[in-house]
Structure 1
Amino acid sequence: MEWALNRKKRWMVLVGSILVLVQVFVNTSGCFREEKRSLLELKTAYSNHSLLPSWVDDVVDPNSNCCDWECVECDPSSGYVFNLSLSNIRDRDAYGRCFSTPFNWSLLLTFPQLTILDLSHNCFQNFVCQGGSIPINMFEGRDTSAPIGLHILDLSHNKFSGHLPFSFTISPSLVFINLKGNDLTGKIPNYYPRGDNIVAIDFSDNNFKGHIPESIYSLKSLTFLLLAGNQLQEQLSSGICELRNLQILDLSRNKFTGSIPSCFNNIAFQDVNFVFSRGQRATVSPGGAKRYRTQIFGFKYRMGEVQVKTKGSSRSYEGDTLKIMSALDLSSNQLTGEIPRELGDLSGLHTLNLSHNRLNGLIPESFHNLQNIESLDLSNNTLSGQIPLNLQDLYFLEIFNVSYNNLSGTAPEENQFANFDDSNYEGNPFLHWTNSNRRIPPPPAPLDKRKKDDSAVDFTSFYWTFSASYVTVLLALVIILWINPYWRRVWFYFVEWCLFKCFR
């Protein structure tokens, strides 16, 4: 029995050695040939061949290693490409105009371990695939040939247009998806509840219409939901309060109607960090781990350290430490009714923006509990009553705007409120504020001083006017005497007569 086990071990060692040798001889350039071929084909989509200069084939450089190319990163243990970041590789003409470049998504099928795909800030206009439109299974991960390990997908700030497939789904491995700044239309696709790891969705600045799909509310790990700058409408569903781990919710610049759900106090709106591992479930938890600034989304997010583990190796991605910016932004919609007092329970919130709506009623006294608030904007509504005096205990408040409402009474004037001025309160005809918290205009000048200033200004004007007139007359006289002999004789006669009168 022991002899059989030893024989089996010897066979396993032999097979393993053969596999290592095969990989060494087949992959002599340091990267896999099919991946290198696909990368070179991606480069041909650019008309400017000077872009991506390190991407050369074996004819130009037999030792060219695609793992050393710019914008490409390979896993050190497997040798496969796991990070393809073509951000801001724009194809421009001689006038600086950006060419619309098609992107052949089918080529990504040759990258079995692709984890990060960043095509942001380019001019990609549409997808070119074998069979035509965007293949749904690219994001589902059901097809064995699809990049099932994709964690980060950033297609923001391109020229993609049209509709996304209605059955567009979240892959179990996907953590970030960013489609911001395109021209996508139609309804936001109805996501199947398979996105167990999804942390951030940014569909801002497109032309999506309709409502937020209910299936989004089942994404329990969702931390950032950014849908600003679309044409979304209808009333906000209380189902959004099921997203209890949200740190930033931005629904601004849409057409939402109805009242603000009072259940927003069920959402965390606090500091979170996340760690995700390749092939494993991502974890999202509160805490004070190392932070980094992600460049994938428009906001400056402070997130946790990101670790990608592959076959025993670990790679960490982290950046500068930034202050947390938990935010709730519902501005520039058509919301009505009173501000729910429950919003005051969001003690971890740093930014609250409800401006440019149709909200009425009082500013809730419960806002005194927003002890971490740094920016509070309630401007351009129809709020009435007094500003609660207990808001002056919000010591971190740096931005406060209640302009263009129907507020009355006297504004707070202590602590942070001593720094606020007219621009914070204007447009409230019945609201008063003292000199301690408004810009004090310079006192009027004394009457005598004004007279002196006026006289000085008059004399200065007179001197300049007299000098200019004198020079003009003198030049005119010289020119006339030069070109006209008759007047020259008259002038000399006049000068002689004057001299005779003066010295007689």
Structure 2
Amino acid sequence: MSSCEFGSQFPLWIQTQKDVSVLDLSNATISGGFPIWLHRMSLSHLDLSSNKISGNLPTNVAEKMPRLTTLLLGDNLLNGQLPNSLCKLEALEVMDLSRNKLYGEIPRCWRDTQWFVVINLSDNKLSGTIPHSVGHLSYLKRLHLDKNNLTGELPVALRYCKELELLDLGENNFAGSIPTWIGENLSSLRILNLQKNMLNGSIPPQLCQLRKLQNLNLANNNLREGIPRCFRKLIGMVMEKVPGPISEQAVAPSASEPAVTPSTSEPTATPSASEPVVTPSISETPAYAPKPEDDDTNWNREKVRQVTKGVDLEYTKMQLKLLDILDLS
């Protein structure tokens, strides 16, 4: 029933249904608070995205809907804090709460018994640091935390999310240096967005170990020095040109260049300021993720926005597989 215009209220006949496992009322012009009658339906898939639902999320959402595997509430008017009961939804694989008015800190109670594949909390008003308990989510493939007010350094615990394909932390207030463990531990990364933060220091050559990387954005930080020469080893990309103030010699092949080897050292902050590195940016489009076993067939559902020479272009992931770009303008 997606895109059906029901008016501002949920239809009464829906509220009386039972034994419903999938409910899609996205883009249905519905307003009002989060419906308390949903627990009668035995839902596994709930999509109420792109409406005008307001108010707080229920604090007992795990008790009311314990079978949920997909929760899509993006592009609404939800406010308040994220309830800790989200950590108790052990069947949940996809959670999209993007483009709301949620505030406060991200819950710190995530556990290794959870099956999250996608978490999208982008474009809210969340603050504080990324909790270390996120490192327990070993099945996580896509983490969208962009466009919030998050602070601190990137937590080392993220290195345990070894299945990550997309890490979007852009447009926050993260500080410190770019961690070496991103390149050493997150070998499945295809998209890395760290734009518009307060990161400093140099670009670690360990990023060159990300052989599957297709989209890298480090723009508008306080990074210094040039581009590591080993960036030519990013075989997931095709780089046609390096325009702008950064010297082309910074990425030119060199026979004497030392090989990049994994490091066991932890990241440290090195305060400095210099030219930003400008690369493609990630759009705010919510992520609709499949289960792990059919992930590759649905990768094209997400979108990537790329700004090249002032032209704003948007590609689906299917197009991105054919158009691998590193823009260092």
Task: Please say whether Structure 1 and Structure 2 have the same fold, judged by a TM-score greater than 0.5.
Answer: yes
Q: For 2:139, which of 200, 210, 221 is the aligned residue? A: 221
Inter-partner Cα distance in structure 2 for 1:87 and 1:109 = 18
Q: Which amino acid aligns with 2:59?
A: P
Greater helix fraction, Structure 1 or Structure 2: 1
Amino acid at match of 1:187: E
Distance in 1 separating the partners of 2:104 and 2:143: 18
Paired AA for residue 201 in structure 2: G
Quote the offset at 1:259 in angstroms.
0.1
CA distance in 2, matches of 1:346, 1:236: 18
| Structure having the higher Rg | 1
Pair 263,379 (structure 1): closer, same or farther in 2 beyond 3 Å: farther
Shift in Å at residue 179 of structure 1? 0.5
Matched, 1:164 2:78: no
Q: Which has the higher contact order (CA 8 A, sep 6+)?
A: 2
Task: List per-residue Cα deviations over 1:45-94 (Å, max 9, x = no partner).
Answer: x7557x86xx759xxxxxxx96xxxxxxxxxxxx9311001100014xxx
Distance between the aligned counterparts of 2:196 and 2:54, measured in 1?
29
Do structure 1's residue 174 and structure 2's residue 92 form an aligned pair? yes
Q: 1:154 to 1:347 in 2, by over 3 A?
A: same
Q: Residues 173-209 of structure 1: CA distance to partner in whole angstroms, max 9, x if unpaired?
A: 1000110000001111113315431100000000001
Work out the CA distance in 1 between the residues paired with 2:177 and 2:8.
Answer: 52
Matched, 1:134 2:63: no
RMSD across aligned positions (CA): 3.4
Whole-angstrom CA distance in 2 between matches of 1:332 and 1:384: 22
Which letter maps to 1:269?
S
**Alignment equivalent of 1:192, drawn from 93, 97, 110:** 110
Report the CA distance between 1:237 and its aligned residue.
2.0
Runs of 5+ in structure 1 lacking a partner? 1-42, 58-64, 67-78, 92-99, 128-132, 271-325, 392-403, 408-421, 425-504
Q: Which runs of 4+ in 1 moved over 4 A?
A: 46-49, 374-380, 382-385
CA distance in 2, matches of 1:110, 1:56: 13
Query: Over residues 234-266 of structure 1, what are the superposed CA-to-partner deviations in whole Å (9 max), with x where a residue is unaligned?
Result: 111222111110000000000101100001121
Q: Could you tell me which residue of structure 1 aligns to residue 38 of structure 2?
A: 108
User: In the aligned structure 1, how far is the partner of 2:115 from the partner of 2:58?
Assistant: 22
Q: 2:251 aligns with which of 350, 374, 388?
A: 388
Question: Displacement of 1:361 after TM fit?
Answer: 1.3
Q: Is the 8 A contact 1:351 1:374 kept in 2?
A: no
Cα distance in 2 for residues equivalent to 1:258 and 1:115: 40
When residues 187 and 343 of structure 1 are mapped into structure 2, their CA distance, relative to the original with a 3 A threshold, is same
- Corresponding pairs, count: 256
The structure 1 residue matched to 2:151, chosen from 224, 233, 241, is 233
Match in the other structure for 1:267: 186
Counterpart of 2:172?
254
2:223–2:276 CA contact under 8 A, matched in 1: no
Mapped to 1, the partners of 2:50 and 2:242 lie a distance apart of 33
- TM-score of the pair, normalised by structure 1: 0.46
Verify: 1:364 aligned to 2:228, yes or no: yes
Task: Flag the 1:83–1:379 CA change in 2: closer, same or farther, 3 A.
Answer: farther
Choose from 191, 197, 205 the match for 1:333.
197
Q: Percent identity?
A: 30
